[in-house]
Amino acid sequence: MAPKEAKAVAPAKTDNKGKKGKKGRKFSNSLLADGVRRYAPGKLAQRRKQFQLKNVKSVKKPKKAKVAISVVKKIGGAKNGGERTVMLRKNKSYLPTKRYVKKRAAKSLFRNHKRNTRQSLKPGKVLILLAGRHKGKRVVLLKVLKTGLLLVTGPFELNACPLRRIAQNYVIATKTRLNLKSFKVPKHINDRYFRRVVPKREPRGERDIFAKKEFKYVPSEQRKTDQKTVDAAVLKAIKAHKDGRLVTRYLKSMFSLRTNQYPHRMLF
């Protein structure tokens, strides 16, 4: 059998015919694959310079005057060369001998952060402490301080727990609540109120090396007065409660768990 003759394949027709630009160049948008052209319509218009405005005279911008970088100064003396080129603006390598660094103010200070407290932690609620030297005691919540810590009190007469701050993570909120709406905590009782001032050490030359002086905290008279004022308002609210005697016994008792008792299954 005679071999079949190969038929000549006609080239694919293109819709966009080549156009000549200003310089006489020919731009063709050839077909790379089925339905895919070499240039996108926007790119093709850019190559043909179709986006330029016509009949608009180009305005030449005035040239900026060159700014001098250095200055030639005359120098006296026989062997100094007579002239010296000095830079008007010194490079970064030329640093002053004394650096004046301005401290940048912090944008978001820790004390300005927003504090989120649980909805169950409202003034007057009876709480159970889970940490600290008074853990296991039941206390009364007075208010939430600016730092997010809780201001609580025993009262001191019932369970010997004074005015203290504690984080909400170490607290269990009970359903018992006292009415403290008429009482407002004094403004000076804030986070700064609980700062302890440690006395300064004596100079080495004057102090005795072998003498051991340990700092022992003693509450001030202001602290004692504030404690009595707050406790009086809390005790008054306890008496006004319908179950006042039961609440008093509840605050005096300690919290503890026995075997087969799980806090997440209990209602307080």
pLDDT band at 8 (very low <50, low <70, confident <90, very high): very low
Enter the pTM of the model: 0.56
Which is it for strands 36-37 and 31-33: parallel, antiparallel or unpaired?
A: antiparallel
Q: Is the pLDDT of residue 216 over 70?
A: yes
* Predicted local confidence at residue 264, as pLDDT: 84
Q: What is the pLDDT of residue 27?
A: 67
Q: Token pair for residue 206?
A: 């004057």
pLDDT confidence tier of residue 101, bands split at 50, 70 and 90:
low
State the pLDDT at residue 240.
Answer: 94
Number of alpha carbons in the 13 Å side-chain half-sphere of residue 224: 4
Residue 15 has a pLDDT of 47
Dist CA 230 CA 227 (whole Å): 5
Question: Residue 247 burial (CB < 10 Å; 0-12/13-18/19+)?
Answer: buried
Confidence of residue 90 (pLDDT cuts 50, 70, 90): confident
**Single-letter residue type at 32:** L
Asked if residue 170 lies in contact with residue 127, where contact means CB atoms within 8 angstroms, the answer is no
**How many helical (H) and strand (E) elements, i.e. helices and strands, does the chain have?**
4, 11
Torsion of the alpha carbons at 72, 73, 78 and 80, rounded to the nearest 10: -70
Read off the amino acid at residue 54: K
Residue 63: both structure tokens together? 């040239």
Residue 144 near residue 150 (C-beta atoms within 8 A): yes
Quote the tokens at residue 22. Answer: 């200003």
Write down the domain spans for the chain. 125-197+216-256
Report CA-CA distances (Å) from 260 to 131, 136, 255, 264: 22, 18, 15, 12
- Among the four given CATH numbers 3.10.20, 2.30.30, 2.40.50, 1.10.3210, the one describing domain 125-197+216-256: 2.30.30
